[in-house]
Amino acid sequence: MLWLHSVLGLAFTGLLFVVFFMGTLALYDRELDRWMLPHTRLPTTAAELSLDRHVLPVVESLIAGQALEQWFIELPSSRVPPLRLQTWDLQGKGQSRFIDPGTGHVLETTASQGGDFFYRFHYTLHLEAGRLGLLMVGLASMAGLLVIIAGLVIHVRLFKDFFSFRPDKIPRRLLDLHNLSGVFALPFFLTLLLSGLVISFPHYLPAGMLATYQEQAGELASEARDLFSRSASGQAGSLASLDDMAEQARTIWKGGEPAFIRVWHPGDAQAYVEISRSLANRVSQHADTLYFDGPSGRLLHQARLKPAASIYSLLAGLHVTYFQQPLLRALYFLAGVSCCLVLASGLLYWAEKRRLRLPQGRAGMRMAEVLAACLITGLPLATLAMLASNRLLPESLVQRASWEIWLFFAAWLAAAVHALLMVGRSSDSRAPWRSQCAAIAVLALVTLLLNGVTTGDYLWRSLSQSHWAVAWVDGCLLLSAWLAASTWLRLGRRRPRRLQYEALEDA
């Protein structure tokens, strides 16, 4: 079990660290959207929004004269102040816009993927061809479950280890940090890995689905989610009051609020309206969707999940985290950071043990040091580079969103090459922690200042105007700069002591 824990852990630490790092950032993808899309920084209003008076006229003016298959409205929430409109034409081409719910004006957003980049990178690794990234993440998740099971078996003093931390002993302090963070994040680690595998099972184990549904694999989702659909008639029709439909939905949900409204076949006599419940106060991903007849407004269908689909929705909700409780989301964030600590400390402990046995170092230990630097300092550097480029790139730049992604990978590659060169030049094969921590501190402060200079939303102004999403991101940048600078100073103090100790030993 120790061999299994070590070998699988070392083989899949890189993938799992990237998955958990990006997943932890994606917990606040909406807040990152507000920071990276400055035009959407609207104050959160508590005033009641009328769908008929405030929403429908704006939508009709935007889609006038267009033949659409559907249009979709995401209503404002505490995390997403603007109203989001998405339209799909008859050829399946989609278009997205942000609308100020107070004025009805379309917001001219900056070309950027925003927090959605981190969310998608979390499970695709930005490798879309052949679903390669998704398959790699699935393989790493299965290996991660085996690593956890083996780790539980070899740590017979699990809870005693949880209260043991010896910071003055190397590499024992790394092992203690590995055990402490592992025990804290164990339920989260297991839940996230297992739920991630379950919600992606059609991609990993499609044989049963394909055998049952053959060439109509999409029927599985339709049947499991109890969806309703009907074809357009080709005859013109009007739309009944959306406010009345929303009020019916609140009555059926016993106080639940609508979050999404989708109109199928708009302008047709067979149009129907799909209203989904807000998941802000729910863990399950089941939105309890209702379907209304467009012209009359009467209820056509209420989605009712079967037990297996309900369990699936609960696991999906635990993983995707649509709920909006700040404390629960913060706990998820801390658990995600703990998972990154588990992986990083395990990798560093493995390298330190080899260093004690082989003082001159070997290729495996050097590669472990380079990998650790790519993950622990390289990923934060790449993320900061992407945020800085979001504020520096001109809005008129062609493929601006793609440029942000290219600069992310360029910065990550630069950090990796720097680590490789420095480990090769170092006498004891150590990663360039101090120089990369200094780069993180400087880049975090620069990014913080760039947001204030380019938008006027300095940290104190965001706090005074209750732009909590922007203030949260700026606060994290400030905290990152402080942590990196503190680490840089501490590493600088430790180096002279180590050299002095080695000189005394030689004497």
* 279 and 404 together in one domain: no
pLDDT reported for residue 507? 43
Name the DSSP class of 257: P
Of 288, 304, 320, the residue at which a domain comes to its end is 304
pLDDT reported for residue 499? 47
Residue 69 token pair? 């298959």
* 374 and 297 together in one domain: no
- Per-residue DSSP letters for 99-129? E-TTT-PEE---S--TTHHHHHHHHHTT--G
* 300 and 371 together in one domain: no
* 274 and 420 together in one domain: no
- Per-residue DSSP letters for 271-340? -EEEEEE--TT-SS-----EEEETTT--EEEE----HHHHHHHHHHHHHH-----HHHHHHHHHHHHHHH
Q: Does residue 210 lie in a domain region?
A: no
Number of domains in the chain: 2
pLDDT reported for residue 165? 60
Q: 290-293 and 299-302: which strand pairing?
A: antiparallel
pLDDT reported for residue 504? 38
* 299 and 435 together in one domain: no
Q: Does residue 175 lie in a domain region?
A: no
pLDDT reported for residue 167? 60
* 371 and 486 together in one domain: yes
* 407 and 493 together in one domain: yes
* 93 and 233 together in one domain: yes
Amino acid residing at 162: F
Domain containing 74: what range? Answer: 49-109+226-304
Q: Does residue 392 lie in a domain region?
A: yes
Dist CA 47 CA 66 (whole Å)? 31
pLDDT reported for residue 210? 82
Q: Does residue 463 lie in a domain region?
A: yes
* 101 and 242 together in one domain: yes
CA 74, 467, 21, 417 torsion-angle sign: positive
**What tens-digit pLDDT sequence spans the chain (507 residues)?**
989 998 999 999 999 999 999 999 999 999 999 999 998 888 776 567 888 888 888 888 888 777 889 999 999 888 888 888 888 888 878 888 888 887 888 888 778 888 899 999 999 999 988 889 999 999 999 999 999 999 888 876 666 665 666 666 666 778 888 888 888 888 899 999 999 999 888 888 888 888 888 767 678 778 888 889 899 888 888 899 999 999 999 999 998 899 999 999 998 999 999 999 999 888 888 889 999 999 999 999 999 888 888 999 999 999 998 888 889 999 999 999 999 999 999 999 888 888 777 655 577 788 889 999 999 999 999 999 999 999 999 988 889 999 999 999 999 999 999 999 998 887 677 889 999 999 999 999 999 999 999 998 999 998 888 888 999 999 999 999 999 999 999 988 875 545 444 443 444
Dist CA 203 CA 207 (whole Å)? 10
Of 269, 288, 304, the residue at which a domain comes to its end is 304
Of 304, 320, 346, the residue at which a domain comes to its end is 304
* 94 and 238 together in one domain: yes
**Does the pTM exceed 0.85?**
yes
Q: Does residue 53 lie in a domain region?
A: yes
* 375 and 472 together in one domain: yes
Q: Does residue 419 lie in a domain region?
A: yes
pLDDT reported for residue 371? 94
* 504 and 400 together in one domain: yes
